[in-house]
Structure 1
Amino acid sequence: MHRSTSRPSERTPLLTASTESLASETSTAVESIPTSPTANDFALVNKISRTDLIWVLAGLWSAVFLGALDGTIVATLLSPIGSYFNESNRSSYIGTSYLLSVCCFTPLYGRLSDILGRKGAMLLALSLFGSGTLLCGLAPSMDSLIAARAIAGMGGGGVMTVSSIAVTDLIPLRQRGLYQGMTNILFGLGAGLGGPLGGWMNDTFGWRSAFLLQMPILAFSFFLVILKVNIKLPEEVRNQSLHTKLRRIDFFGSLTLVGTVGCLLLGLSLKSTEELPWSHILIWGLLVASLVFCIFFVLVESYWAPYPVMPMRLVTQRTPLAVSLSNFFGSAAAFSMLYNVPLYFSAVRLNSSTDAGLHLLPHSVAISTGSVFAGWVMRKTGKLYGLTLVSCALTVIAATMVAMWNENTSNFHLWVDIAPQGLGMASVITTTLIAMIASVGKEDLAVATGITYLFRTTGQVLGVSLSGALLQAILTNKLRERIQCPDAAEIIEAIRHSTSIIPDLSEPLRKAAVDSYDDALRVVFICQAALNFICLLCCIPIQENPLPGTHEEQEEVYRTRRNTISEANDVESAQ
């Protein structure tokens, strides 16, 4: 058989890459790929009617909506909860414990959905999330509330991941981006309603009611998943005994992954929230522990685990690696901006909290618009590479414009400059998820989705933590330069911990505080622009793979890819 030996271009699909390249990248994967026709065609088995699809999406997306609603409800309730327990200094741990659990357990659901099935994994996620939320509403102390939020996070990390995997099973890849856009609209709607609803529930019925209110929505999603989500896995997986399925769980890999992510995020969170120095034994001890866990994790995944939770052969491939890194850097920049732009209007422009929050409205609208637009473009053209790069460029432009804000910047720019960030990042997150799905085989689809969400959520937490630490370091230095009166230390501490006191300061102190926040935030915004530029660079290696428009076309692509890999492996064996 004649084979072309020409070098593939930068955007050449993996499907047409050279036999030798395919063999070297995937020889270890072939051994674990199912060989029965049922495994290749199970997406065709999962074709359902339009009515059933609507009910399935209602069950999955109501859980996504609830997860977003919960996040902003809790953010609104941090102050009332802290005051209720008389432990306001520890209220930030309510959010930190949830985010740590989400980051640690998100990637595990990719493999669990292959073992327990999509329904089983989703029910597990909803059960943990629901149990944690109910315990939050009944918590007798701050410690128990923090623990309950950690339990909720164990499930919250799976809701988005399993929902995305299930929709991918049911929707042809070319239309998948549009559905992801609709998912993001619901997520944005939940996030937008959570704040006002949480505040109203707290004022009317008390903060516990805001947690208990979520239980009916959770029950609705739970029962719809039980009744309607009946996605069939390949026959050889369905016929395995429970013991065999449990053996597929990568316990050592999961443990070391949780240790790696958990120690890293906990160390950085403590550095930011407790304002401990980097030399503190707790901070560097956690960072060293994270490094040790990371080394063990790589060794376990490379040489020990038969069914790794994060296959190294997958992470080191070109497109999955590029997608993972772009999601990490892009999410870090996006969440840093989301948290620091309102701070700019509160501390530098001295606007009220309501006005500061309103400046995020164009960003929220742009997120929904960008995600749906990206899905529509992919559906119409079947292409994503050019759209991804243009979207990344928008985020760089937006971050650069925000970094140039000064006292002479017009109101038009203060309202509009942040919008391209939301538009571009929503598009990037949508297109890169589809690029990841299109670049892997059916057997790796669930795990690859979990990896994407892991890098995304880790980037979100690190973006907030590191930008907060950078901001405080520069702010403290600038305030010490500008304020040198007898009680300077107390004034500086008060300014750092609350922006609400700045308007009430004397003119010289107010100017010193505003200028110091302005200088610190400008550095943070410049770093955001740099992160967005790195995200753009990471997107360049992404390959343009086919986006099938029907289930039949999609299965043909998977079948062709599998045959190509098998032939490549045969050639390598013969040599």
Structure 2
Amino acid sequence: MSLRSKSPSESRPLLSDSQSSYSTTSGDSARTVTPSDPPVLNKVSRRDLIWILAGLWSAVFLGALDGTIVATLLTPIGSYFNKANQASYIGTSYLLSVCCFTPLYGRLSDILGRRGAMLLGLSLFGSGTLLCGLAPSMEALIAARALAGMGGGGVMTVSSVAVTDLIPLKQRGLYQGMANILFGLGAGLGGPLGGWMNDAFGWRFAFLLQMPVLLFSIILVTLKVNIKLPSDVQKQSTSSKLKRIDFLGSLTLVGTVACLLLGLSLKSTEELPWSHPLIWGLLVASVVWGVLFIFVERYISPYPVMPLRLITQRTPLAVSLSNFFASVSAFSMIYNVPLYFSAVRLNSSTSAGLHLLPHSVAISTGSVFAGWLMRRTGKLYSLTLGSVLLTVVAGILVSCWNSNTPTLDLWLDVVPQGFGMASLITTTLIAMVAGVAQEDMAVATGITYLFRTTGQVMGVSLSGAILQAVLTEKLRQRIQGPGAAQLIENIRHSTNIIPTLDPPLKQAAVDSYADALRVVFICQLAMNVITFTSCIPIQENPLPGTHEEQERHYRNRTNDRNDTTIDT
């Protein structure tokens, strides 16, 4: 078969399974590659694939279940140890640990293999969860949650990398959608299940009951996950693989992320001013660690945990930024919409939480829809921009809520946010994987999850800081006189007091919360607009429909990268 150049208008669509050549467009030309590449490494039978996915996705389900179970148990755990003021650190320690260690698993999965990295994540998560159930003190429980977080982030990252190894990119989004359904199911069941287990058996049982599911996942991963890495990696000795671990880069990255998120979390949970030495000290330390991290990755590490050449490329940078800003907005909405119904509409906690049910359904639906459409069309760029526009629409609708908003709108206005966000994280993950060489795929996936989880923590922390700042100002304007300061503090710390106030004070509290939450919702809208802008540079790359096409696609990406390196 002869090779010839074509103009972009002559580029052919994705080939069917029966075709024997594969076209890829780069710059102003397209080239046809004959199937002379090495055989496919990881083509498994449908039966084995089902068992592998069962092992990987049961861990994903457990991670989601664990998160909402713990959120439900914060109050009883605080009361049990008589340290309710420290209960929030149970969640904070886990999230900080997840954010710090998530990106490390991308490189570890290339060094230890997918099975080895997954078992490491499961072992750390399982050890931490078991220790939570046996914790003798609040401090020990907080430390155990941090240990569980070291593995929790890895479980999500490595399972995503492993599925990408096994599923052609054109079908990958659909499988991601199915994984998100399980994640949503776990998150939905965690709350009521945690409350029931606490009432029936005590909060410790909620941690210990997770161990059989964890053991099931470990057994399946051990027996069934046997994903082969490229031959040049397989031939390396253990000592050579250990030398590829970027210890210094990992340390400086953990320092950067930990100091940043800890400073923002303390600002929100402890309500410390920005001028407090602990807050600005942690933020300055984060900047210092960040400078050291860039220096190490650029000049010292031969195998960087986050290659700067990768993060500065057009599509990976756009995907990272879009995931960060979208996660800031999404988690701000998840935490503040129930607060709106509790503090402004004065609904019960149960009713306020139920208003997120359409949002949760939309998340599962949006992810599956995006996967189905990518599988059908082989395209993702227009779908990505359309998904972000849905979140912009939701931001506009929610920021316009007032006392005259119809009840049906209050239920449905959050749906575009959930649908668009789920579709966005599915399409951008595929865009990231399709836009890098095969040897960068695992690291790129880890980077995506790092920006996503960091955005989640910052969304909660920053929205909380904005809310409290505006709320305090509005309450001080509306409530004055003897005892006003103490009353304002009570209103800020608990919405349960609002219905018990005299009518003028109750109206002042409701109006103040409404004003503060409107500012938060407008900030969410701004984040969604920034997300849309971040998505514009994402490139449309071919999505291979078969394993053979995917092997050739990655080989072409590697050749393109090598050609660029030589040219520069």
CA distance in 2 between partners of 1:381 and 1:18 (Å): 23
CA distance in 1 between partners of 2:558 and 2:198 (Å): 55
CA distance in 1 between partners of 2:261 and 2:184 (Å): 25
Give 1:547's aligned residue. Answer: 543
- 8 Å contact 2:78–2:87 — kept in the other structure? yes
Q: Does 1:473 align with 2:483?
A: no
Q: Does 1:528 align with 2:538?
A: no
Give 1:376's aligned residue. Answer: 372
Q: How many residues align?
A: 549
Secondary structure of 1:129's aligned partner: helix
Secondary structure of 1:249's aligned partner: coil
Query: Displacement of 1:50 after TM fit?
Result: 0.3
- 8 Å contact 1:14–1:543 — kept in the other structure? no
Query: Displacement of 1:567 after TM fit?
Result: 4.5
Q: Does 1:484 align with 2:480?
A: yes
CA distance in 2 between partners of 1:248 and 1:135 (Å): 31
TM-score (norm 1): 0.93
CA distance in 2 between partners of 1:565 and 1:269 (Å): 40
CA distance in 2 between partners of 1:84 and 1:433 (Å): 42
CA distance in 1 between partners of 2:544 and 2:120 (Å): 31
Give 1:94's aligned residue. Answer: 90
Query: Displacement of 1:234 after TM fit?
Result: 1.5
Give 1:285's aligned residue. Answer: 281
Secondary structure of 1:45's aligned partner: coil
CA distance in 1 between partners of 2:561 and 2:353 (Å): 52
CA distance in 2 between partners of 1:87 and 1:403 (Å): 37
Cα shift readout 1:364-410 (whole Å, capped 9, x = no counterpart): 00000000000000000000000000110000000110000000000
TM-score (norm 2): 0.94
- 8 Å contact 2:171–2:374 — kept in the other structure? yes
CA distance in 1 between partners of 2:450 and 2:375 (Å): 26
Query: Displacement of 1:5 after TM fit?
Result: 11
Q: Does 1:16 align with 2:30?
A: no
Give 1:132's aligned residue. Answer: 128
Query: Displacement of 1:4 after TM fit?
Result: 9.1
Give 1:59's aligned residue. Answer: 55
CA distance in 2 between partners of 1:141 and 1:63 (Å): 27
- Higher RCO (CA < 8 A, seq sep 6+): 1
CA distance in 2 between partners of 1:380 and 1:403 (Å): 35
Spell out the pairing of 1:423-462 with structure 2 (5 A cutoff): 423-462=419-458
Name which of 178, 181, 186 aligns with 1:182.
178
Name which of 320, 323, 326 aligns with 1:324.
320
Query: Displacement of 1:236 after TM fit?
Result: 2.0
Cα shift readout 1:12-48 (whole Å, capped 9, x = no counterpart): x9951269xxxxxxxxxxxxxxxxx99x747x12111
Name which of 358, 361, 365 aligns with 1:365.
361
Give 1:400's aligned residue. Answer: 396
Q: Does 1:559 align with 2:537?
A: no
Give 2:297's aligned residue. Answer: 301
CA distance in 2 between partners of 1:146 and 1:546 (Å): 46
- 8 Å contact 1:136–1:208 — kept in the other structure? yes
Matched to 2:557, the amino acid is R
* Coordinate RMSD, CA, aligned: 1.9
Secondary structure of 1:294's aligned partner: helix
- 8 Å contact 2:128–2:145 — kept in the other structure? yes
Cα shift readout 1:142-188 (whole Å, capped 9, x = no counterpart): 00000000000000010110000000000000000000000000000
CA distance in 2 between partners of 1:378 and 1:457 (Å): 25
CA distance in 2 between partners of 1:433 and 1:311 (Å): 18
Cα shift readout 1:254-281 (whole Å, capped 9, x = no counterpart): 0000000000000000000011111111
CA distance in 1 between partners of 2:385 and 2:561 (Å): 29
CA distance in 2 between partners of 1:375 and 1:83 (Å): 44
Give 1:354's aligned residue. Answer: 350
Give 1:415's aligned residue. Answer: 411
CA distance in 1 between partners of 2:25 and 2:336 (Å): 43
Matched to 1:17, the amino acid is G
Give 1:23's aligned residue. Answer: none
- 8 Å contact 1:15–1:564 — kept in the other structure? no
Name which of 168, 172, 181 aligns with 2:168.
172
Query: Displacement of 1:560 after TM fit?
Result: 2.5
Cα shift readout 1:102-150 (whole Å, capped 9, x = no counterpart): 0000000000000000000000000000000000000000000000000
Give 2:194's aligned residue. Answer: 198
- 8 Å contact 2:379–2:540 — kept in the other structure? yes
Relative to structure 1, is the Cα distance of residues 167 and 41 closer, same or farther in structure 2, using a 3 angstrom cutoff?
Answer: farther
Give 1:34's aligned residue. Answer: none
Query: Displacement of 1:561 after TM fit?
Result: 2.9
- 8 Å contact 1:346–1:353 — kept in the other structure? yes
- 8 Å contact 1:122–1:159 — kept in the other structure? yes
Query: Displacement of 1:559 after TM fit?
Result: 2.2
Secondary structure of 2:338's aligned partner: helix
CA distance in 2 between partners of 1:17 and 1:475 (Å): 52
Name which of 75, 78, 89 aligns with 1:79.
75
Matched to 1:143, the amino acid is E
- 8 Å contact 2:24–2:553 — kept in the other structure? no
CA distance in 2 between partners of 1:566 and 1:78 (Å): 52
